[in-house]
Chain A
Amino acid sequence: NAGVIQTPRHKVTGKGQEATLWCEPISGHSAVFWYRQTIVQGLEFLTYFRNQAPIDDSGMPKERFSAQMPNQSHSTLKIQSTQPQDSAVYLCASSLEGLGGYEQYFGPGTRLTVL
Protein backbone atom coordinates (compact mmCIF):
# COMPACT_ATOMS: atom_id res chain seq x y z
CA ASN A 1 0.00 0.00 0.00
CA ALA A 2 1.71 3.15 -1.23
CA GLY A 3 -0.39 5.47 0.88
CA VAL A 4 -1.78 8.73 -0.43
CA ILE A 5 0.37 10.07 -3.25
CA GLN A 6 0.67 13.76 -3.97
CA THR A 7 2.48 15.33 -6.90
CA PRO A 8 4.42 17.45 -7.29
CA ARG A 9 6.05 17.65 -3.87
CA HIS A 10 7.18 21.19 -4.55
CA LYS A 11 5.87 23.74 -7.03
CA VAL A 12 7.05 27.26 -7.64
CA THR A 13 4.90 29.57 -9.72
CA GLY A 14 5.01 33.20 -10.64
CA LYS A 15 2.23 35.49 -9.55
CA GLY A 16 -0.71 35.16 -11.91
CA GLN A 17 0.18 31.69 -13.15
CA GLU A 18 -1.92 28.57 -12.72
CA ALA A 19 -1.05 25.69 -10.41
CA THR A 20 -2.52 22.20 -10.53
CA LEU A 21 -1.94 19.83 -7.67
CA TRP A 22 -2.59 16.09 -7.90
CA CYS A 23 -3.68 13.56 -5.34
CA GLU A 24 -4.00 9.79 -5.65
CA PRO A 25 -5.96 8.33 -2.73
CA ILE A 26 -5.35 4.96 -1.16
CA SER A 27 -6.87 2.26 -3.31
CA GLY A 28 -10.34 1.38 -2.09
CA HIS A 29 -10.89 4.63 -0.26
CA SER A 30 -14.01 6.43 -1.34
CA ALA A 31 -13.42 9.83 0.26
CA VAL A 32 -10.80 12.47 -0.56
CA PHE A 33 -10.15 15.61 1.43
CA TRP A 34 -8.03 18.67 0.65
CA TYR A 35 -6.47 20.89 3.33
CA ARG A 36 -4.19 23.89 3.30
CA GLN A 37 -1.50 24.33 5.92
CA THR A 38 0.22 27.60 6.76
CA ILE A 39 2.11 28.84 9.79
CA VAL A 40 -0.43 31.58 10.41
CA GLN A 41 -3.71 29.75 9.77
CA GLY A 42 -2.69 26.21 10.65
CA LEU A 43 -4.62 23.40 8.99
CA GLU A 44 -7.65 24.58 7.05
CA PHE A 45 -10.22 22.33 5.43
CA LEU A 46 -10.81 23.14 1.79
CA THR A 47 -13.04 20.53 0.20
CA TYR A 48 -14.19 16.90 0.32
CA PHE A 49 -15.31 14.31 -2.22
CA ARG A 50 -17.06 11.05 -1.63
CA ASN A 51 -17.42 8.52 -4.44
CA GLN A 52 -16.06 11.26 -6.72
CA ALA A 53 -18.95 13.62 -5.91
CA PRO A 54 -18.26 16.95 -4.24
CA ILE A 55 -19.78 16.88 -0.78
CA ASP A 56 -18.51 19.96 1.01
CA ASP A 57 -16.49 22.79 -0.49
CA SER A 58 -17.18 25.27 2.26
CA GLY A 59 -13.49 25.89 2.84
CA MET A 60 -12.62 26.69 -0.74
CA PRO A 61 -11.92 30.31 -1.58
CA LYS A 62 -14.72 31.29 -3.90
CA GLU A 63 -12.47 32.69 -6.56
CA ARG A 64 -9.56 31.06 -8.33
CA PHE A 65 -9.74 27.70 -6.50
CA SER A 66 -11.41 24.62 -7.93
CA ALA A 67 -11.19 20.90 -7.25
CA GLN A 68 -12.24 17.88 -9.22
CA MET A 69 -12.28 14.15 -8.87
CA PRO A 70 -12.74 12.76 -12.39
CA ASN A 71 -12.21 9.16 -11.31
CA GLN A 72 -11.70 7.17 -8.14
CA SER A 73 -7.94 7.16 -8.50
CA HIS A 74 -7.17 10.84 -8.50
CA SER A 75 -8.27 14.31 -7.53
CA THR A 76 -6.91 17.67 -8.58
CA LEU A 77 -6.82 21.05 -6.94
CA LYS A 78 -6.41 23.93 -9.35
CA ILE A 79 -5.50 27.46 -8.41
CA GLN A 80 -5.86 30.05 -11.13
CA SER A 81 -3.99 33.34 -11.16
CA THR A 82 -1.92 32.37 -8.13
CA GLN A 83 -1.13 35.02 -5.56
CA PRO A 84 1.66 35.11 -2.94
CA GLN A 85 -0.92 34.47 -0.19
CA ASP A 86 -1.68 31.11 -1.83
CA SER A 87 1.77 29.92 -0.77
CA ALA A 88 1.19 27.00 1.58
CA VAL A 89 1.45 23.26 1.92
CA TYR A 90 -1.58 21.62 0.36
CA LEU A 91 -2.42 18.30 1.96
CA CYS A 92 -4.64 15.59 0.55
CA ALA A 93 -6.14 12.86 2.71
CA SER A 94 -8.30 9.85 1.97
CA SER A 95 -10.54 7.69 4.08
CA LEU A 96 -12.40 4.46 3.60
CA GLU A 97 -15.71 6.25 3.76
CA GLY A 98 -16.57 9.86 4.35
CA LEU A 99 -16.91 11.49 7.72
CA GLY A 100 -18.52 9.71 10.63
CA GLY A 101 -15.42 8.47 12.34
CA TYR A 102 -13.42 7.04 9.48
CA GLU A 103 -9.75 7.77 9.85
CA GLN A 104 -8.12 10.07 7.35
CA TYR A 105 -4.72 9.17 5.95
CA PHE A 106 -2.61 12.00 4.66
CA GLY A 107 -0.23 12.37 1.78
CA PRO A 108 3.12 14.14 2.14
CA GLY A 109 1.72 17.40 0.79
CA THR A 110 2.61 19.76 -2.04
CA ARG A 111 4.52 22.85 -1.03
CA LEU A 112 3.37 25.69 -3.29
CA THR A 113 5.46 28.81 -3.44
CA VAL A 114 4.13 31.79 -5.38
CA LEU A 115 6.77 34.36 -6.16
Chain B
Amino acid sequence: GEQVEQRPPHLSVREGDSAFIICTYTDSATAYFYWYKQEPGAGLQLLMSVFSNVDRKEEQGLTVLLNKKDKRLSLNLTAAHPGDSAVYFCAVNTNKVVFGTGTRLQVLP
Protein backbone atom coordinates (compact mmCIF):
# COMPACT_ATOMS: atom_id res chain seq x y z
CA GLY B 1 0.00 0.00 0.00
CA GLU B 2 0.86 3.66 -0.09
CA GLN B 3 3.78 4.73 2.09
CA VAL B 4 4.34 8.35 3.07
CA GLU B 5 7.53 9.65 4.62
CA GLN B 6 7.68 13.13 6.10
CA ARG B 7 10.66 15.09 7.25
CA PRO B 8 11.96 16.69 9.29
CA PRO B 9 10.22 15.37 12.41
CA HIS B 10 11.16 18.53 14.28
CA LEU B 11 11.84 22.01 12.96
CA SER B 12 12.71 25.17 14.80
CA VAL B 13 12.87 28.54 13.02
CA ARG B 14 13.01 32.17 14.02
CA GLU B 15 10.04 34.45 13.51
CA GLY B 16 10.10 35.80 9.97
CA ASP B 17 12.09 32.88 8.59
CA SER B 18 10.72 30.23 6.26
CA ALA B 19 9.90 26.68 7.29
CA PHE B 20 10.11 23.88 4.77
CA ILE B 21 8.56 20.44 5.16
CA ILE B 22 8.73 17.64 2.64
CA CYS B 23 6.84 14.40 2.07
CA THR B 24 7.55 11.58 -0.30
CA TYR B 25 5.02 8.99 -1.34
CA THR B 26 5.19 5.73 -3.25
CA ASP B 27 2.04 5.32 -5.33
CA SER B 28 2.35 7.14 -8.64
CA ALA B 29 -1.42 6.88 -9.08
CA THR B 30 -2.03 9.15 -6.09
CA ALA B 31 -4.17 12.04 -7.21
CA TYR B 32 -4.99 14.16 -4.18
CA PHE B 33 -2.72 15.77 -1.66
CA TYR B 34 -3.34 17.71 1.54
CA TRP B 35 -1.58 19.61 4.27
CA TYR B 36 -3.02 19.78 7.77
CA LYS B 37 -2.07 21.67 10.90
CA GLN B 38 -2.68 20.32 14.39
CA GLU B 39 -2.43 22.50 17.45
CA PRO B 40 -2.22 21.00 20.94
CA GLY B 41 -5.47 19.38 22.02
CA ALA B 42 -7.14 20.04 18.70
CA GLY B 43 -8.06 18.12 15.61
CA LEU B 44 -6.47 18.54 12.22
CA GLN B 45 -7.08 21.80 10.43
CA LEU B 46 -7.01 21.61 6.65
CA LEU B 47 -4.51 24.11 5.27
CA MET B 48 -4.49 23.33 1.60
CA SER B 49 -5.52 20.67 -0.87
CA VAL B 50 -3.82 20.07 -4.19
CA PHE B 51 -4.84 17.90 -7.06
CA SER B 52 -2.33 16.10 -9.19
CA ASN B 53 -2.78 18.45 -12.14
CA VAL B 54 -1.25 21.28 -10.09
CA ASP B 55 2.48 21.76 -9.59
CA ARG B 56 2.38 24.78 -7.35
CA LYS B 57 -0.22 26.44 -5.17
CA GLU B 58 0.11 29.50 -2.97
CA GLU B 59 -2.32 30.71 -0.35
CA GLN B 60 -1.86 33.10 2.54
CA GLY B 61 1.86 32.67 3.10
CA LEU B 62 1.85 28.96 2.29
CA THR B 63 3.37 27.44 -0.84
CA VAL B 64 2.77 23.84 -1.80
CA LEU B 65 4.89 22.22 -4.48
CA LEU B 66 4.07 18.90 -6.07
CA ASN B 67 6.71 17.00 -8.03
CA LYS B 68 4.93 13.99 -9.48
CA LYS B 69 8.02 12.65 -11.17
CA ASP B 70 9.86 12.39 -7.88
CA LYS B 71 6.67 11.72 -5.88
CA ARG B 72 7.43 14.60 -3.59
CA LEU B 73 5.14 17.08 -1.91
CA SER B 74 6.39 20.06 0.03
CA LEU B 75 5.04 22.87 2.17
CA ASN B 76 6.83 26.15 2.64
CA LEU B 77 5.67 28.62 5.26
CA THR B 78 7.09 32.01 4.41
CA ALA B 79 7.62 34.54 7.18
CA ALA B 80 6.64 32.18 9.96
CA HIS B 81 5.26 33.61 13.21
CA PRO B 82 4.79 32.07 16.65
CA GLY B 83 1.16 31.27 15.88
CA ASP B 84 2.38 28.85 13.23
CA SER B 85 3.88 26.64 15.93
CA ALA B 86 2.07 23.30 15.63
CA VAL B 87 2.41 19.84 14.15
CA TYR B 88 2.00 19.68 10.38
CA PHE B 89 0.88 16.60 8.50
CA CYS B 90 0.85 15.83 4.83
CA ALA B 91 -1.74 13.40 3.53
CA VAL B 92 -2.20 11.66 0.23
CA ASN B 93 -5.34 10.09 -1.15
CA THR B 94 -5.50 7.26 -3.62
CA ASN B 95 -8.19 4.87 -2.42
CA LYS B 96 -7.51 5.73 1.18
CA VAL B 97 -6.05 8.74 2.94
CA VAL B 98 -2.56 8.04 4.28
CA PHE B 99 -0.89 10.55 6.56
CA GLY B 100 2.73 11.44 7.02
CA THR B 101 4.33 11.12 10.43
CA GLY B 102 4.13 14.81 11.20
CA THR B 103 6.56 17.69 11.66
CA ARG B 104 6.60 19.57 14.93
CA LEU B 105 7.31 23.19 14.04
CA GLN B 106 8.43 25.66 16.65
CA VAL B 107 8.64 29.31 15.68
CA LEU B 108 10.76 31.28 18.11
CA PRO B 109 10.15 35.01 18.64
Q: Mark B79-102, 1 if CB is under 8 A from A, else 0.
A: 000000000010001011111011
Contacts of A107 in B (CB 8 A): 43
B61 at the interface (CB under 8 A from A): no
Interface size class of B (residues with CB under 8 A): 20 to 34
B97-A109 in contact (CB<8A) = no
Which secondary structure dominates chain B's binding surface? strand
For chain B, residues 1 to 56, give those with C-beta under 8 angstroms from any C-beta of chain A. Answer: 31-32, 34, 36, 41-46, 49, 51
Excluding A33-B97, A101-B93, 14 further A-B contacts by CB distance (< 8 Å) are: A42-B101, A42-B102, A43-B89, A43-B99, A56-B96, A100-B32, A100-B93, A101-B49, A103-B49, A106-B43, A106-B45, A107-B43, A108-B41, A109-B42
Which residues from chain B sit less than 8 Å from chain A, CB to CB? Answer: 31-32, 34, 36, 41-46, 49, 51, 89, 93, 95-99, 101-102
